[in-house]
Chain A
Amino acid sequence: MLTLTINDKPHRIDVSDDMPLLWAVRDVVGLEGTKFGCGMALCGACTVHVDGQPVRSCVTPVASVVGKRITTIEAIEKNPVGARVQAAWRDLDVVQCGYCQSGQIMSATALLQKNPKPSDKDIDDAMAGNICRCGTYVRVRAAIHQAAGNGAAKKEA
């Protein structure tokens, strides 16, 4: 048995130490806003925060995050930066199918916490690990600028 602190709540779960956090969060705890996409840290759909840092939960063993603060999409609105990111996402209608967007929002929130006024290059560097097959990247970029309060953030022509 081990205890994970997810969204400020302790969860005692009986799983092997090497189980990736993704499956503990989704299948055992039942928080399904965090998505499975590749299982190899290639796509970013499973991004959660561990002590505020963005982490690919599909390759993070549960034993490595015991005693740490895990945050998932379900609680990101409690983080003021996260709430701003979500508001920008809604305002610009970033989503299409929506499947990758939890991971996009978690990565974007982590970026803005570290770097409140990111340049396009900063956004590229921080977000290149998050794949969107619907191709919402143009709006992901615009929404991050908007959440950062960069005035230039407007939809394309």
Chain B
Amino acid sequence: MKTVQETSIVSAKLDNALPRRQFLKVGAAAGGGLMIGFAMPSFLAGAQAAEPGESAVGKGAAAATSEAAGFAPNAFIRIDRSGQVIFVMHKVEMGQGTFTSMPMLLAEELEVDVTKVKLEQAPPDGQRYSDPLLGGQLTGGSTSVRGAWVPLRTAGATARTMLVAAAAQAWAVDPSSCSAANGVVSHKASGKSLGYGKLVDAAAKLPVPKDVKLKDAKDFKLIGTPVKRLDSADKVDGRTEFGIDVRLPGMKFATVAASPVVGGKLLTTDDAKALAVKGVHQVVKLDDAVAVVGDHMWAAKQGLAALNPTWSDGPNAGFSNAVLVAAMDAASKNPGAVARNDGDAAKAVAASANKLEAIYQLPFLAHAPMEPINCTVDIKPASCDVWVGTQVPTFAQGVAAKITGLPLDKVQIHNHYIGGGFGRRLEVDSVAQAVSFAKQIKGPVKFVWTREEDVQHDMYRPYYYDRLSAALDDKGNPVAWTHRVTGSSIMARFAPAAVVDGVDSDAVEGAKELQYSIPNVHVDYVRHEPPIPTAFWRGVGPTHNVFVVESFMDELANKAGKDPFEYRRALLDKSPRAKAVLELAASKAGWGTPLKPVEGSRVGRGISLQLAFGSYMSLVSEIAVNKDGEVSLTRVICAVDCGQVINPDTVRAQLEGGVIFGASAALHGEITFEKGRVQQSNFHDYRVLRINETPLIETYIVKSSESPGGLGEPGTSAIFAALANAVFAATGQRVRKLPITTEALKAA
């Protein structure tokens, strides 16, 4: 996701902002070898400056994440005497390919074999690393590569320069006459060579070079090539250990039921019945949740069923979608905090004879990653160990410290591969719950939520209610545009400093950054909180706003009687990169040519454009709608300009996956409430796309040497409007409310 600090991690700025000597620490590693500590920026760096409010994150986390102004490395490269390169970092792998792209950046400059770089996950071994790995350890926002782009290559280049200098010193030759490749320094004239392992101790004693030069893009050997995923083999063999696979001696298994209504309390349980189930050991209770502990998940599940907990529903017993939408509609009539104001849009719309107004609605969404929520905890009198896959290890550590009352350094987070994050693992609600239960349990216990618990107790993507209006001139071009977003502020809870003058940067992201030339633009934000917790979801702000903006643009084109592609193109003279991807997508899709008919169905093509996460993207989707109103997505064409490509195969994989993730939600995704309860429970009623519903996906990448843009999320945020606009092209029905429902699309 992106925050107000996003710009601070644009590499060029970062490069200028941090004096080099502050940026790197080099020295001898304990036990021999060369150690380079450096800072990879956190996307929350700015937000931490403010005092975070009391939140799910908690005060402990605030303490853990707030960092002194001084330099403290949060990433380390260690090269030992055998020449083994170990890279310790705080990013977590959840499918996005970070564990491959990060070593590529390092290996490119360090001149080592990328497949031989060993990754170690933070937190570090305290004996070995002198500096704590603190300070906004966070994976999210399609930021990993963007944040690491300059610092990681610089660290690699610095290490390589020092290793070359050490070799030159040993041979009494000029460093410039030596070269490094594949972990070996060579001196061509004498034919001498030494492996990095033989040079590390001498290199560690050398002064740190001030200004190492990074390679020109034309000299890249790895960056830009389809390097194979380094985590593939283990995942194909079923050997990768996810959080849910943790096994400890004497470990028990637990499963959980929380109050079906947020704010409800546990009333009664039938403990005797639960304890009578074979393999059940213990029933543990919190105010609003209960867990059964057993020898295995089956015992715990059966115990929970026998326990038959009852609940008081509390203040949210009457909460429903109908109640929420009525309240949001009322709230959206009041002016909001202004995110952008060019000219006088309201006046221009009021004065126009050719205007359009619309309300768009987007539902709550669950994340439903394939790996259900889980957390393993072992609390001893003076320590707490937590095994979990998390995007925010410092938050997990903070919340566990707070609940146990232990100091931070007595809480150890053992981070794991994540079986799908999508924003869910940015939250530590389940860690807090597990640690609270574990305080009552002797020995290690693994908490696993059932899928039903996972779907019904997620922290949901907020419901959004957007009001738009626009005025067109006599040629049909937009002269004024207003967009009022009404919805929950995730940032107010997660990173309060990202809410400036009442504007949640995430809630308006993608609405504020209109790429089109429109003289009068007004974007404002009305905060409206539902009584349930909300959270980031893949594509964050743009997943919401790009759908709304690009659908409404389509409405304007239609009102102007113009082709939606040509209409957009004419408004992009000031944004050449946006215009280029739009044209590329349209051309590859054969925009304007007739689609192949599908018997018994109406077919259509839709287009969308976005600038999000530092990447420009345009999608064209082709769909067929059958007589029952069921929409099939048949083909998607992606054109992307994401700046310098690190790994083109990862780009394709992320776009394919992102499109499918977004299309799942556009076509099926919806969490609804009735009597305070979530009405969906598992994959039969919270449907996601399956292979038989998967379109052909073609990706076209614009060659560019601009700084890299993020890729984990743009495919998701771009597909909603491309799909909805295709529905309009096929059926004449405008999708103003997601998910796309079949009822309105039935053939007449």
Contacts and interface: CB of A to CB of B under 8 A. Distances in A.
Given A15-B298, A133-B661, A134-B420, A33 B237 contact: yes
A100 B370 contact: yes
Contacts of B28: none
A133 B422 contact: yes
Contacts of B450: 39
Contacts of B235: 95, 98, 101
B253 interface: yes
B656 A135 contact: yes
A95 B653 CA distance: 9
A137 B297 contact: no
B368 interface: yes
Contacts of A32: 238, 241, 244-245, 247
B682 interface: yes
Interface stretch (B17-25, B107-115, B687-695): B687-695
A27 B239 CA distance: 15
B95 A134 contact: yes
A99 B371 contact: yes
A26 B296 CA distance: 9
A81 to B, nearest CB: 14
Contact of A138 (B232, B419, B697): B697
A127 interface: yes
Contacts of B422: 133
Contact of A35 (B419, B659, B664): B419
Contacts of B692: 124-125, 127-128
A98 B419 contact: yes
A131 interface: yes
B682 A36 contact: no
A157 B239 CA distance: 31
Given A98-B240, A156-B698, A36 B298 contact: no
A27 B253 contact: yes
A38 B685 CA distance: 12
B33 interface: no
B370 A45 contact: yes
* From A15, A45, A93, A137, residue with most partner B Cβ within 10 Å: A93
A97 B653 contact: no
A74 B245 CA distance: 14
Contact of A128 (B245, B368, B371, B691): B691
B323 interface: no
* From A36, A102, A134, residue with most partner B Cβ within 10 Å: A134
A86 interface: yes
B242 interface: yes
Contacts, number: 190
Chain A binding surface, main DSSP class:
loop
B533 interface: no
Given A27-B298, A32-B247, A73 B238 contact: yes
Interface string B364-380: 00001111100000000
Interface residues of B, number: 68
A153 to B, nearest CB: 14
A16 to B, nearest CB: 6
B609 to A, nearest CB: 20
Interface in A19-36: 19-20, 23, 26-28, 30, 32-36
Given A105-B236, A141-B691, A156-B698, A133 B370 contact: yes
A4 interface: no
A128 B242 CA distance: 24
Interface string B658-700: 1111001000000000000000001110001111101011111
A140 interface: yes
Contact of A135 (B232, B233, B661): B661
Contacts of A35: 244, 370-371, 419
B684 A93 contact: no
B263 interface: no
Contacts of A95: 95, 229, 231-232, 235-236
Interface in B443-501: 448, 450-452
Given A40-B682, A90-B233, A155-B652, A74 B238 contact: yes
Contacts of A105: 236
Contact of A131 (B241, B279, B690, B700): B690
B688 A131 contact: yes
Contacts of B555: none
A70 interface: no
B531 to A, nearest CB: 27
Contact of B371 (A97, A131, A138): A97
B682 A90 contact: no
A130 interface: yes
Nearest to B277: A16
A135 B657 contact: yes
A107 to B, nearest CB: 10
Contact of B658 (A30, A135, A137): A135
Interface in B157-191: none
A141 B694 CA distance: 10
Interface string B335-372: 00000000000000000000000000000000011111
Contacts of A128: 690-692
A123 interface: yes
A138 B694 contact: yes
B422 to A, nearest CB: 7
B451 A40 contact: yes
Contact of B370 (A15, A97, A157): A97
B238 A72 contact: yes
Interface string A91-117: 001111111111001000000000000
A23 B370 contact: no
B273 interface: no
B417 interface: yes
B696 A137 contact: no
Interface string A39-67: 11011010000000000000000000000
Contacts of B95: 95-98, 134
A6 interface: no
B332 to A, nearest CB: 32
25 contacts: A15-B296, A27-B253, A33-B239, A36-B297, A36-B372, A43-B451, A94-B232, A95-B229, A95-B232, A96-B97, A97-B95, A97-B417, A97-B418, A97-B420, A98-B242, A98-B419, A99-B420, A101-B235, A128-B692, A133-B422, A137-B660, A137-B689, A155-B649, A156-B652, A156-B699
Given A86-B236, A156-B696, 20 more contacts: A15-B298, A27-B295, A32-B245, A36-B372, A36-B448, A42-B682, A89-B236, A93-B229, A95-B231, A96-B96, A99-B370, A99-B419, A127-B690, A129-B690, A130-B690, A133-B661, A134-B657, A135-B656, A135-B658, A156-B656
Interface of B: 93-97, 228-229, 231-242, 244-245, 247, 253, 278-279, 295-298, 368-372, 417-422, 448, 450-452, 649, 652-653, 656-661, 664, 682-684, 688-692, 694, 696-700
Give the 8 A-B residue pairs with the shortest CB-CB distance, closest first: A33-B238, A135-B660, A99-B419, A98-B235, A97-B95, A96-B95, A73-B238, A27-B296
